[in-house]
Each structure stands twice: as C-alpha cells, then as structure tokens.
C-alpha cells in the first residue's frame, strides 16, 4: 500500500523509476512497493546510467553525516533520495583481508583468497548497507511504521536504523530460532518484537499479508530500495581491489537478496566502465535450506521450496523471495549455486575464527563453498576469490560454545579449543603456560 511522502521530497522520489522484472511496468519511486501492482513480479530500482564514471570522483562533494557513509559514497549508482531524508550510521567501509592460510585450506594453491568482512558494520552484519537506503526511503515517503520478518540480522539492523530515523519498528522473528545476540540487539534498539510460532518463511508470508492490508512499510529484501544499498558491498570490494575484478565472488544465500543485489551491482559497474571483466558469483546455501542450489543443479527445472533446516539460523530459509532475481544474477555473471552441509559450515567457521577473523555460521558457508568448488574443479587452484562474510562472530556465540565445548557423539571435535580450569596457584598457572607454549 502506498504511503504519502512530504511535499518537499515527493517530487524527487517520484522521479525515481521502479520497474517490474516480470512485466516491465514502471512505477514512481514515491511509494512503498514490494511487488508489481499489476502482475505481482519482483521490482528493481532503475539506475540512470549517464555515461562512464571517473573512479577519482567517487564520493566527492559529500557533506555532513552522509560523507562518512561507505554506502552513499556511491550515490551516482544509487537512487536519488533527498539528502534530508537520509538516515545513516556510517555503514560500510568494511575490511578486505587477505589470508593465505584460508586460501590453502580452501585448496587455492597459487591462488588468492580475500575476505570481505561485512560483520564490521554498525550492527555487525551486511544488512546495514541495505537498511540505510530502505529507511531513508521510508522516511522520504513519510512511513508511519517500518516492519520486517527476520532470522535476526535484518531485525537488529532495522531496529537500529528505525531508531536513528525516529520511526517506530515492528519485527517478526521465528520464536526460539534466532540467536540470543540478534534478539538482544533488536530488543535493545527499541523495536516491537513479535515472536511467531513458526519459521522465517511463515513469518515473511504473514507480514506480507499485513502490509498488503495496512499502511506499514515493509523492509525485507523484496523492497527494491534495500537491495540498492547492498550493491555497495560489491562496489567497495572492487574499489579496494583497484577495480581489478577477482575470478570469483562467493557468498552465502538465504532469501537471495544479496545474490540479486550483487548481480545488479556487477551489471552497473560493467555499464559505467569501472570493470571490464565480470567476476563469477558463487552462491552457497546450507544443505537443509537449499532450494535455489537444487534448482540450479537441475538446470532450472522444477523449482520447489523446502522445509528449512540448518545450524546456520541466518540462512534457514526454505522459500526464498528473490529466486528469479538471483537466477538473473547467475545468468549475467556466469555464476554457480551449490550447497554445503552443516558440518562443512562449522569447520569453515572454525578456520575463519582461528585465524583471528571470526564470523557467524551462515557467513562461513562462503569459505566452505569455495573449498567444495575447488575440490570439484569448478574453481581452479590458481584463481582469485573473494569470500563475503556477512555477519560478526559475536552474532552467534551459542554456535561457538556448542562447537568447542560440547562433544559430538561422545567425542571431542578435532581442534576444539576448550578453556582450562586451574587452581589459583603459580604452579598450576606455570603448567598452563607450558601447555600453551608447546600445544
Ligand atoms: N548471512 C547472514 C549473516 C544473514 O543474516 C543472511 C540473511 C544471509 C547471509 C543471507 O542473505 O537473504 O540476502 O540471501 N538474513 C536475513 C535476516 C534473512 O532476516 O537477517 P540473503
């Protein structure tokens, strides 16, 4: 349902074009649309491409808070939301690490692995990049309340940005199925939290019914403005690489918003001449929640949603909203989709954690997937890959405790790092020191 914008911003927002990817209908960007009013198709914000972009001019001329944002820095390729409506928490500017131990673990001998760590955003996940654009648009159109269904990270981000923008927030989360840290963030930032007796897919479908009926601004990734912000993960990564594209960008897939945004980002970078080669996208799902990977494997025949199951609660999604947009991204980038087991995810996470980088389980699907793709010969050992880590290690401390402190089938896991308890004596401490030094 449309919400009226303030008159000062209405004209600027109405000039933004939102296009249906199914029927091609155009809609003005001054309303809160999350599907095509004519055919129900998925929507894209149309980026006006006016010619080549000068890499030296990126981010030039920004004033005030917005100048600190690693998202709005790329405003030439973002919707022209009036500056006064922008809500920012200085998101983006995340590190791009190089780690040769992780490259070796993935099997890339002679190749290179870089880690784009989106856990270094204000609420510790990549969601903040989309949220600054989504909430700014919500503010621009005069939304009275913003809402999302979430596996935890979107809700934490929404709650923070809604608070920053002074807009009430409503979030639906699957009861008992999101991590304590994410729930804590969402509560702390002041959103109204509704715990649904059902999974994420049920929560999103229920919320879409609510927003179709009531004047509530929906900020899930079916909202095309959110995906605009998420494009900047790719913009920033490639700028950090001097616009020298890697062979692969590997990312976890849940609701497939990021996969959709990454493809759009690459299409636009190619069009404005910032990259000449398009990196291949590899989207990795958790084996128990992998309808898109299965569809890809079957040559896009017979798509079927699934009942989701996985230890990586962030991507425990069986009926992803952006399947068709994700396919478009893989088509454009000559990409691939695959799935990895929970054990593979947890082992990859332990490697990422152990080199001092750290991430939440869903994020580690990227490195686990890369390792599998090298083993099966899809990725060649000499190639260069960027793995995207989508959330911070502290997002899911329960997963760390379970992995390191609990036995599996009565056995301690290889590499489990268990705290040791000692008497408060120097002798006991000296023994611990000797053990630490000699392993
Ligand atoms: N990684 C993390 C840490 C996530 O939180 C999510 C999605 C994804 C990957 C998958 O991204 O949906 O764009 O394919 N989390 C959503 C949420 C669903 O509610 O926080 P996607």
Domain ranges within the chain, ordered by starting residue: 96-123+226-400
Instruction: Please give the full DSSP string across 164-216, using - where no structure is assigned.
Output: HHT--EEEEEETT-S-HHHHHHHHHTTPEEEEESS-HHHHHHHHHHHHHHSS-
**Which of 152, 153, 256, 368 is the best mutation target for the ligand 1 pocket, counting ligand atoms within 8 Å of the beta carbon and taking the most?**
153
Can you tell me the distance from the alpha carbon of 421 to that of 395, in angstroms, rounded to the nearest whole number?
26
pLDDT of residue 131: 98
pLDDT of residue 2: 42
Q: Check if 363 has its Cβ closer than 6 Å to any atom of ligand 1.
A: yes
pLDDT per residue, tens digit, the chain (439 aa), is 444 446 789 999 999 999 999 999 999 999 999 999 999 999 999 999 988 999 999 999 999 999 999 999 999 999 999 999 999 999 999 999 999 999 999 999 888 999 999 999 999 999 999 999 999 999 999 999 999 999 999 999 999 999 999 999 999 999 999 999 999 999 999 999 999 999 999 999 999 999 999 999 999 999 999 999 999 999 999 999 999 999 999 999 999 999 999 999 999 999 999 999 999 999 999 999 999 999 999 999 999 999 999 999 999 999 999 999 999 999 999 999 999 999 999 999 999 999 999 999 999 999 999 999 999 999 999 999 999 999 999 999 999 999 999 999 999 998 899 999 999 999 999 999 999 998 7
Q: What's the CA-to-centroid distance between 9 and ligand 1, angstroms?
A: 31
Nearest to 141 by CA among 231, 74, 78, 223: 223
**Which of 255, 322, 399 is the best mutation target for the ligand 1 pocket, counting ligand atoms within 8 Å of the beta carbon and taking the most?**
255
Q: What's the CA-to-centroid distance between 57 and ligand 1, angstroms?
A: 32
Q: Which residues contact 434 (CB under 8 A, 6 or more apart)?
A: none
pLDDT of residue 439: 72
* Residues 285 and 293 sit within 8 Å (Cβ to Cβ): yes
Q: Check if 361 has its Cβ closer than 6 Å to any atom of ligand 1.
A: no
Its sign, for the CA torsion 123, 253, 197, 223, is positive
Q: Check if 258 has its Cβ closer than 6 Å to any atom of ligand 1.
A: yes
Q: Check if 315 has its Cβ closer than 6 Å to any atom of ligand 1.
A: yes
CB-neighbour burial class of residue 436 (10 A; exposed 0-12, middle 13-18, buried 19+): exposed
Helix (H) or strand (E) holding 362: helix 361-375
Can you tell me the distance from the alpha carbon of 329 to that of 336, in angstroms, rounded to the nearest whole number?
10
Can you tell me the distance from the alpha carbon of 275 to that of 239, in angstroms, rounded to the nearest whole number?
10
Q: Check if 257 has its Cβ closer than 6 Å to any atom of ligand 1.
A: yes
**Which of 127, 151, 174, 254 is the best mutation target for the ligand 1 pocket, counting ligand atoms within 8 Å of the beta carbon and taking the most?**
254
Q: Check if 153 has its Cβ closer than 6 Å to any atom of ligand 1.
A: yes
pLDDT of residue 6: 65
Range list of H helices, 58-126: 100-106
Can you tell me the distance from the alpha carbon of 250 to that of 218, in angstroms, rounded to the nearest whole number?
28
CATH of region 96-123+226-400: 3.40.50.1100
pLDDT of residue 78: 97
Q: What's the CA-to-centroid distance between 433 and ligand 1, angstroms?
A: 41
pLDDT of residue 353: 98
Closest atom of ligand 1 relative to the 182 alpha carbon: 20
Q: Check if 314 has its Cβ closer than 6 Å to any atom of ligand 1.
A: yes
Q: Check if 125 has its Cβ closer than 6 Å to any atom of ligand 1.
A: yes
pLDDT of residue 1: 40
Q: Check if 151 has its Cβ closer than 6 Å to any atom of ligand 1.
A: yes
pLDDT of residue 3: 46
Closest atom of ligand 1 relative to the 256 alpha carbon: 14
Q: What's the CA-to-centroid distance between 319 and ligand 1, angstroms?
A: 13
Range list of H helices, 214-341: 224-240, 257-271, 291-297, 323-333
Helix (H) or strand (E) holding 389: strand 384-389
Q: Check if 310 has its Cβ closer than 6 Å to any atom of ligand 1.
A: no
pLDDT of residue 4: 45
Nearest to 136 by CA among 226, 43, 69: 226
Can you tell me the distance from the alpha carbon of 280 to that of 258, in angstroms, rounded to the nearest whole number?
14
Rounded CA Rg of the chain = 22
CB atoms within 10 A of CB 213: 9
pLDDT of residue 109: 83
Q: What's the CA-to-centroid distance between 111 and ligand 1, angstroms?
A: 28
**Which of 194, 314, 360 is the best mutation target for the ligand 1 pocket, counting ligand atoms within 8 Å of the beta carbon and taking the most?**
314
Retrieve residue 230's tokens.
């998420």
Retrieve residue 350's tokens.
């332990």
Q: What's the CA-to-centroid distance between 275 and ligand 1, angstroms?
A: 27
pLDDT of residue 272: 97
Can you tell me the distance from the alpha carbon of 176 to that of 186, in angstroms, rounded to the nearest whole number?
14
């Amino acid at each position: 349902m449309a919400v009226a914008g303030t008159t000062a911003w209405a004209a600027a927002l109405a000039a933004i074009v939102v296009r249906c990817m199914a029927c091609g209908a155009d809609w003005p960007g001054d309303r809160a649309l999350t599907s095509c009013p004519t055919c129900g198709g998925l929507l894209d914000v149309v980026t006006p491409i006016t010619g080549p972009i000068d890499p030296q001019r990126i981010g030039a001329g920004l004033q005030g808070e917005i100048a600190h944002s690693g998202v709005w820095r790329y405003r030439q390729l973002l919707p022209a939301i009036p500056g006064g409506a922008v809500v920012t928490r200085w998101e983006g500017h995340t590190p791009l690490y190089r780690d040769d131990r992780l490259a070796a673990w993935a099997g890339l001998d002679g190749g290179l692995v870089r880690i784009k760590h989106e856990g270094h955003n204000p609420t510790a996940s990549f969601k903040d990049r989309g949220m600054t654009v989504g909430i700014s648009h919500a503010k621009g159109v005069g939304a009275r309340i913003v809402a999302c269904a979430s596996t935890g990270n979107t809700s934490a981000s929404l709650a923070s940005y809604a608070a920053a923008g002074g807009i009430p927030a409503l979030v639906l989360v699957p009861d008992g199925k999101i991590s304590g840290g994410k729930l804590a963030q969402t509560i702390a930032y002041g959103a109204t939290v509704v715990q649904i007796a059902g999974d994420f897919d049920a929560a999103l479908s229920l919320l879409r019914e609510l927003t179709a009926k009531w004047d509530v601004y929906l900020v899930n990734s079916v909202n095309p403005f959110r995906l605009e912000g998420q494009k900047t993960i790719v913009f920033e990564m490639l700028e950090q690489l001097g616009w020298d594209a890697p062979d692969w960008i590997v990312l976890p897939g849940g609701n497939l918003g990021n996969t959709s945004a990454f493809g759009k980002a690459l299409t636009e970078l190619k069009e404005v001449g910032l990259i000449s080669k398009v990196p291949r996208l590899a989207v990795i799902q958790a084996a128990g929640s992998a309808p898109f990977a299965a569809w890809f494997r079957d040559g896009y025949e017979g798509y079927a949603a699934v009942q989701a199951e996985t230890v990586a609660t962030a991507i425990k999604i069986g009926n992803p909203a952006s399947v068709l947009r994700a396919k478009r991204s893989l088509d454009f980038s000559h990409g691939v989709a695959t799935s990895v087991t929970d054990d593979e995810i947890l082992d990859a996470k332990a490697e990422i954690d152990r080199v001092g980088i750290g991430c939440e389980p869903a994020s580690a699907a990227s490195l686990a997937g890369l390792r599998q793709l090298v083993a099966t010969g899809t990725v060649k050992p000499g190639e260069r890959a960027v793995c995207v880590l989508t959330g911070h290690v502290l997002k899911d401390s329960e997963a760390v405790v379970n992995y390191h402190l609990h036995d599996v089938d009565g056995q301690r896991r290889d590499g489990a790092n268990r705290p040791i308890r000692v008497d408060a004596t120097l002798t006991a401490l000296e023994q611990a020191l000797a053990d630490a030094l000699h392993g």
